Structure formats: C-alpha cells, structure tokens
Amino acid sequence: MELPGKWAIVTGAGRRIGRTIALALAERGADIVVHCHRSREEAETTATQVKKLGCRAMVIATDQSDWNAVERACDEVWSATGGVDVLVNNAAVYRRTPLSEIGERDWDELLDTDLKGPFAWARFLGPRMKARGWGKIVSIADAGAERVWPGYIPYCIAKAGVVAMTRGLAKALAPEVQVNAIAAGTILWPDDFSVAAKARALRDVPLRRVGSPADVARAVCFLVENGDYITGAVLPVDGGRTMN
C-alpha cells in the first residue's frame, strides 16, 4: 500500500506507542485519525505534529469499551474522511490484577477495552474496507498472549483474544483486506515495576534490553506498506522473549 493520500486511524494515539505509530505513518505520507478516550489534549498535540509533517489529521474521542460509541465513531470518521484505509488497534488498558484481588469490574474493564473495543473497530470498518476493495488492519497484541503472567491474567486473556480475532478477521475479510497483529514484548516499563522486576523481566529476553515504541511503529509500517501477501500473522517484536 502506498500511504500518501491514505487515511489511517490509530486508536490510543494521544501518547506513548500510539503516538509513535501515528507519527511514523504520517512520516510516510498517511493522513491520520487520532483516536483517544480521555487524553484529548495529548491527542490534539499528536494531530498538530501530524499536520507539521504535511498530512491531514482529525481527532475523535471515544470510549472503545462502548460498542455503540465505536459504531458512531466509525460512521463519523468514514463520512469525514471519505473512507479509512488503515486501522491500527493500539488502545488498551494494562494494569496489574493479582488473582486474589480481581473483581468483576476489573474483568469487564480489561476485556471490554482490550478485546471488545478492537473487535468493534474492525467490525464497523473492516466490511467497508472489503466492500471498497482494499484495507489493512494491524492490532497490537502482546507476548503475554502466549506467556500468560499470573499477575495480569485478564489482560493476557484479552490479548490472546486479539490474536484469535486477527486470525478470524483475516479469513472473513480476505482477499481484499489484510489483517495482522504484532506481539509486543517489553517496550515501555509499567509505572509500578521495581528495579528488581525489570531485571527479572530482562533475563527472559535474549536481546537483553527493552524495546522502544519505534520498534513497534516500524513493524506496523512494514505490515501496512509491504504486507500485501501477509495476513493472519502475528509478528513478534519482543527481543526473542516468547522463545523462552
């Protein structure tokens, strides 16, 4: 896919990895729909940076755990842009949830935001892409989908669902739309990680270092620009962590 003149929506693009992905796509010529939930100010900053790169940008604030809200947002975005060419499912909640402390609210928040939300975006944009004849969907999964961490079980379940979702959508939307995922490893440290916890995590990484948001962004750009014969794939960007 040649990105100049194409519209890409990046969920959770107000900050962190989402912002890096949005700007990387814009550097390659894509116009960007910057999605956020509560981080409107940060999203506007991302949009401003996109425009400085010579691309168009719009901001849409939506709670992606709300199915109907996502449907309305997709209608609005499609109408405003004339059609979305790329969907990057990045937005997610990542929070420690020890088994003895998990409540129904924790379960609902993590599964609704991290799995139902990405599926809803794909549900309402994917068939439109297919009907038009082209499109790319890339979802950010996690190494935890395969290596389930006991302190983050609902999160890992949601990301395992994203992997299954990717494979199902790849079949349902073929051959017009390619659907893939990135299994991200340790990219940004959680705020609650101690020095000892970081050291333990890196022992499982053959490359012995933390990754960067740019590593994920480059993988997204590869799948979007050069992944015409790749679909249903889960690309590890984890320093080799899932091998251990």
How does pLDDT run across 89-124, given as a tens digit for each residue? 999 999 999 999 999 999 999 999 999 999 999 999
Closest of 165, 115, 110, 161 to residue 137, by C-alpha: 165
pLDDT at 202: 86
What digits encode the pLDDT tens for the residues 23-78?
A: 999 999 999 999 999 999 999 999 999 999 999 999 999 999 999 999 999 999 99
Q: At the fourth CATH level, which superfamily is domain 7-243?
A: NAD(P)-binding Rossmann-like Domain (3.40.50.720)
The answer to whether 177 touches 139, Cβ cutoff 8 Å, is no
Question: Is the predicted pLDDT of residue 183 greater than 80, yes or no?
Answer: yes
155 classed as catalytic: yes
pLDDT at 189: 78
* Joined tokens for residue 128: 């439109």
Question: Is the predicted pLDDT of residue 190 greater than 80, yes or no?
Answer: no
Average pLDDT of every residue of the chain: 95
pLDDT at 198: 81
Q: b or e along 3-13 (b: 16 or more beta carbons within 10 Å of the residue's beta carbon)?
A: beebbbbbbbb
At 208, the pLDDT band (50, 70, 90 cuts) reads confident
Rounded Cα distance, 175 and 117, in Å = 24
pLDDT at 241: 83
Q: What is the mean pLDDT of residues 235-243?
A: 89
Give the predicted TM-score (pTM) of the model: 0.95
